[in-house]
Amino acid sequence: MALTTEDVRKVGTLARLALADDEIATITPQLNDLLDQFARLQQLDTTGVVPTSHAVPVKALLREDEITPSLSQAEVLKLTAHTDEIMGGFIVPQVLAGD
C-alpha cells in the first residue's frame, strides 16, 4: 500500500511538522521507497536466525571494582576556602531564586 500525499500530510501534522506542498511532494516518493524496502526485508526467511541487538559481539570493557583508600572529609574540606565548619560541608553559591 503506497502512501498518498494526504497520508504524508497527516503524519507531518501528527509529528507537528509544518511541511510545505513541495516538501510533501518530495518526501512522499522517498517514504514509499523506504516502505518498499522494508516490505522486501519482511519477505526474507529468518527461521533459525538468532535475534540480536548488535551485528558483532559486544564485550563490556569494565575493570573489576576494587576498594582503594580515599580522602577523609577533613582532608577534602582543607582543599577549599569555602567551607562551613559547623555543618562540615562546602559552601556553594545559590543557583535557584528564592527567599
Indicate whether 22 belongs to any domain: yes
Q: What is the pLDDT of residue 51?
A: 86
Which residues in the chain come in under a pLDDT of 50? none
State the residue range of the domain holding 35: 5-42
Cα dihedral sign, 87-92-98-99: positive
Indicate whether 13 belongs to any domain: yes
Look-up of cell digits 548488535:
54
How many distinct structural domains can be found in the chain? 1
Q: H helices then E strands: how many in the chain?
A: 3, 2
Predicted TM-score (pTM) of this structure: 0.50
Cell matching residue 28? 512522499
Indicate whether 54 belongs to any domain: no
